[in-house]
Amino acid sequence: MLKNTPSTYGSVAKWLHWLTALWILAAYASILYLDWVLDGKGPQRGIFLRFHKGIGFSILIFVVLRLYWRATNPSPSLPQSMPKWQVTASHVSHFLLYFFLITMPLSGYIGNSNGVDYVLFKVASFKDTGIGIWIMGLFDVPYEKFEVPFDTFHYRIAGPFIFWVVIAVHAAAGLYHHYVEKDDVLKRMLPGKN
């Protein structure tokens, strides 16, 4: 079944969910390898940085697809037995997940002065796009100053700290529902038939 039902997610939603999760892990693994193993230097630096940027920008594209699919395929209902605070927490955590799934790749792209190189083609850097030129002209600010808050958000605030906490809370909630509440909240997103 491709589409969501009132009781479970369809194949498309599951694939989008787990592929996005794998891409997030790959983006973090590449940048952590670059920082921890290569110490940010060496001939492999460019390879891992290009890999990280390509995955990050691709996540942004995947999120647009996910949002479209979510808008056209309502999510299954939460269990009736869930307390109201858990329902609210679920909505808040999903909002935060999507917020960071959009803002992390977007802030990385805006703060990246070299664009995204997919080997077969290249996505121009934000500063070289029409909208980038227009926005920087509107605020009368050079790119070197314009990109600072985006870099700060991406590299110093959300990337190393906040996004991981939101992901951990999301995963922990799924495990809690599976092992403690023993409901189908996690099962309905797992691959295979439910």
Answer left, alpha or beta for residue 40, where phi above 0 means left and psi between -120 and 50 means alpha.
left
Give the per-residue pLDDT at 157.
95
Of the candidates 101, 72, 100, the one whose C-alpha atom is nearest the C-alpha of residue 10 is 72
Q: In the prediction, which pLDDT does 103 show?
A: 97
Mean pLDDT, range 166-173, rounded to an integer: 96
Which pTM does this prediction carry?
A: 0.90
pLDDT at 194: 60
Could you report the per-residue pLDDT of 87-132, keeping only the tens digit for each? 999 999 999 999 999 999 999 999 998 888 887 889 999 999 999 9
What lies within 8 Å, CB to CB, of 116 at 6+ separation is 53, 54, 56, 57, 109, 122, 123
How far apart CA 139 and CA 98 sit, in angstroms, is: 28
How much is the average pLDDT of 146-167? 94
What are the residue boundaries of the structural domains of the chain, listed by start? 11-76+83-189
Question: What is the number of other CB atoms lying within 10 angstroms of the CB of residue 34?
Answer: 21
* pLDDT tens, position by position, 46-98: 888 889 999 999 999 989 999 999 999 999 999 999 999 999 999 999 999 99
Read off φ and ψ for residue 49, nearest 5 degrees.
-65, -45
d(CA 61, CA 99): 14
Q: Binning pLDDT at 50, 70 and 90, where does residue 149 land? A: very high
Question: How high does pLDDT run on average in the chain?
Answer: 92
Domain at 11-76+83-189, CATH class: mainly alpha
pLDDT at res. 158: 95
**pLDDT of res. 121:** 84
**For residue 34, what are the contacts with CB-CB under 8 A and spacing of at least 6?**
40, 45, 48, 49, 52
CA torsion 92-64-126-129 (nearest 10°) is: -140
Helices 84-110 and 163-176, axial angle in degrees (round to 10): 150
Structure tokens at 152: 């700060």
Each residue of 29-39: pLDDT tens digit? 999 998 888 88
